[in-house]
Every structure is written in C-alpha cells, then in structure tokens.
Amino acid sequence: MHPILFTLIITPLALFGTSQILVTLGNTSGNRLLEYYGRALASFLALILCAIYGTIASAILNVFGYGGLGQWTTARAFKWTMLFSTGVWFEIEDEKDWRNTTRPAVFVGNHQTELDVAFLGHLFPKYCSVSAKASLKKVPVLGWFMALSKTVFIERKSREQAFAAFDAAAEQMHSNKQSVYIFPEGTRSYYDYPDMLAFKKGAFHLAIQAQVPIIPVVVANYSNVLNVKQKIFRAGTIPARVLEPVSTKGKTKDDVDALLQEVREKMLTALKDLTEHAREQGVAVQEPEKRPNGPAKDTAVTTGMNAAA
C-alpha cells in the first residue's frame, strides 16, 4: 500500500480509537475531563469525515440534478456517525410531520452549542439547507460543499446589500423549492437554563419576502449532556419539538417585529416545557449554576441572514 494512502487510513482510525479510549477511561474512572475530550475529539473527526463525504456526494448529486439533497444526505451521515461515536441522539416530536409536508419554508431554531449541528442531521427534511455569509464561498472544501449543496448565501456588508440579497434568496427558495434553516439568535448562547438570546430580524424578513411559512423548532436545554464551560460531554437522548408553521401570507416588512415576537414567544414557551422533561431525564441541569456574563460566540453559518436587524 502506498505510504500516503496508508497514512490517510491509519491516522483517522488511530485518532478515533484514542477518542474511544478516553471516553471509556473517563466513564470507568469518573473523570469527566477525559470523557469530555474523548467525545470532543470523536465529534471533530465525525465532522471532518462527513464534510468530505458531503462534498463528494453533493458534486455527484449536482450532476444528476439533485444538488438540493446535498445537505440532507450529509446531515443524515453526521447524525448516525455522532450516535456511533458519541452516543448523542435527538428525539424529535413533530405532531403532524410539518417539517416534511411544508416546503419551501424558513425553519428557525434555538442555538445552544456546537452540538446543534448534529441536531440538524435529525431535523433536516429533504431539500433544506443552511444560510451562510457569502464570503464562505471562498473557503476551500467548506465553500465548495456549500455551493454544491444549494446553500442560501447572503451578502451582509451593508443593510442595503442584505435586503437586496433577500430577493435572490427568495427566488432561489421558490425555483428550487428549497427550504432554509436559520438560527435567529445568530450566536450560541451556552445557557444552562431554558432561555434564548434576542432574535435578529433576517429570517423574518426573508420569510415575508418569499411569502413562505416559518417553522419554529425547539431543542430542550441539554447542558447536562454538553456544557462547554464546565467541560461536560456525555451520551444522552435530547428532546426536541417542531411547532406549528406560522403563515406569512399577505404580510409586509411592517409586520416583521410582530412576527418575530410571536414566533419567539411560542418557542420560549415550548423550550421551557421541553426542558422540564429534559430535567426529569437528566439531560438538563436541575438548577442553573451561573448565568452567562460575557457575550456568546458568533456563528459563521446562518448569521448572513441576520444582517438586516
């Protein structure tokens, strides 16, 4: 076997084996740092592996005219890889299968940690993509994957450019029947209690311009599964819920504030309810230890839509 090929095969296997050893040692010794870093390493490897797969799969799907399935198939691969390597699973309650029967739509969800990327593997319906800053097109591999998988790119250098970009994004959604998923908080909160940061308006401007429904999605607080500040990363099943779509038919930009408030209130109510169940299951901490003081981290993916505040 060629030395380079051998290295490409053995290195990820060795790293994965190391991650599982760390997790096992952490579990048996009660050392949560070993468990945390073991699962963090496994998650990173899963992300890299699925990103490579996604780029190749999206290129092939584009050849046959199915590029819009690129992020769906990549997200599904990440879902199963994360279950195998970290033991994390999301249990989604979708009473009337809204996520698979409403298309196109703008999905909006709360944003807690990096683990939300794994949640997308459970939630994404076919022909759905994230939104992203237009500058990410130039990033090797990631930019290729996003372009091939029909990512909705938004230029956000100015308010005017962002609004103009919504027209193109709305047209893309209708012509491809492509839904888009946006984190309206724009940043990860890292909260250990059921709450959300203030919403930005981009997702709501887009939904109104495209005249497509908004589908709110809520994931229970899971700070007892992943807590980056306290270096906790455990296996667990995290509850989530898809809420009833909110129509934007006939609404204009003058309705953005009221629409945002309506959606946020519904999501916050559901978040508190879900977190009560998550606490019973040991997924969320019983009482918040400390409320965050510093600013949450910015998220490159999906903040493009949040430029128009």
Q: What is the mean pLDDT of the chain?
A: 88
- Cα 166 to Cα 184: distance, rounded to the nearest angstrom: 15
- % of residues, the chain, pLDDT over 90: 66
- Asked whether residue 62 is assigned to any structural domain, the reply reads no
Q: What is the per-residue pLDDT across 204-214, written as a single tens digit (0 to 9) for each? A: 999 999 999 99
Closest to 298 (Cα-Cα) out of 183, 186, 153, 152:
186
- Phi then psi for residue 252, to 5 deg, are -125, 180
Q: How many domains does the chain have?
A: 1
pLDDT for position 288: 53
CA pair distance 276, 219, nearest whole angstrom: 12
Report, as an integer, the average pLDDT of 126-146: 81
In a domain, 6, yes or no: no
173-204 pLDDT, tens digit each: 888 898 999 999 988 999 999 999 999 999 99
Q: Is residue 30 part of a domain?
A: no
* Domain assignment of residue 134, yes or no: yes
Cα(3)–Cα(81) distance, rounded to whole angstroms? Answer: 27
The Cα–Cα gap between 255 and 56 comes to 41
Q: Give the closest residue to 149 by CA, choosing from 141, 159, 157, 160.
A: 141
pLDDT of residue 40: 97
CA 5 remoteness from chain centre: 33
Whether pLDDT at 303 is above 50: no
Residue 194 falls within a domain, yes or no? yes
Establish if 13 belongs to a structural domain: no
Q: In terms of residue numbers, what domain contains 190?
A: 67-306
Confidence band for 289, pLDDT divided at 50, 70 and 90: low
The pTM of this model reads 0.87
State residue 93's pLDDT score. 97
Say how far apart CA 147 and CA 165 lie, in whole Å. 16
pLDDT value, residue 292: 52
pLDDT at 79 over 90: yes
Q: Is 60 exposed, middle or buried (0-12, 13-18, 19+ CB in 10 A)?
A: middle
In this prediction, what percent of the chain has a pLDDT beyond 70?
89
- Answer yes or no: are the C-beta atoms of 153 and 146 closer than 8 Å: yes
Give me the CATH number covering residue 230: 3.40.1130
Structure confidence by residue, pLDDT tens digits, 222-274: 999 999 999 999 999 999 999 999 999 999 999 999 999 999 999 999 999 99
Mean local confidence (pLDDT), 163-170: 79
In a domain, 285, yes or no: yes
Question: Higher-confidence residue: 185 or 289?
Answer: 185
Tell me what the mean pLDDT of segment 92-109 comes to.
95
